[in-house]
Structure 1
């Protein structure tokens, strides 16, 4: 009887912990969209990289919602890439460029998707480069759907872009680069 009671208590506690974590993640993703995405703009046609970085900084409340310093410095820079932010520390967050590889049939797609999934599970977002109108545009991957795909957000001016088929887009592109980040402990 004691074993059954103990097992029941463990099951209830475990369910509560996982349910609470799931609710926290849903709230977190809603907060990111509602608070950050809805209050952010991409100021220049070519400033999507610093715009995505600004969204991460705003998510962690390291800058005010009216902060556009990175985009204002970048403006319409046409030769920029994730390399401009690789190993750069901004407001305590260190950004890292990943998967700088040829986009072809040998691209490590499973490794890319696993990296994104691991970052999301740890409570972080991932900046990703995706094709758009014959060029590339930066999005922030915010969550994974029940079917395993990723939901990504971006801005084009004040217009919000939402993709719910990020994996499919990446597969059709034969791969892509991402930018991850590390935060100081306690963040």
Structure 2
């Protein structure tokens, strides 16, 4: 009888080990019916203040180009150019700031609370001879990595990184689309 009672108690105790704050689904598909501008990606500047959360410039560029194309508002070119051919051509500069904070405290003899906060700030600056559009976005995730009785939950670092990049690039693609719509 005691075993039957202990099994659900044990399951309830360990089912709360992992608590990941999921980010909502962000829909940036087909915001525009036709292309408003051609963006020439010039510079991707990355500042990484994270210990284990690393994103390469290529990963970010690929995700950003895909997110911008999904909106149907832009033609995105990654080849380097020094001049703009028309008034609908814009240079695009990207700045990204990555940060990671950890907080650890001992709650009692059975449980150590450890939370990790991952954050990505992304800023786009599109400009040509007379116009300028700026867009910013922030994506973050809080991961609860608490230990109960010495057991630590399995982490999904790659999945967390993908989620953060995807959500930040989708948010900023929506923001820059709104900026271009206001220009019109």
Q: TM-score range by the shorter chain?
A: under 0.3
Bigger-Rg structure (1/2): 2
TM-score, normalised with respect to structure 1: 0.26
Structure that is richer in helix per residue: 1
TM-score, normalised with respect to structure 2: 0.26
Structure that is richer in strand per residue: 2
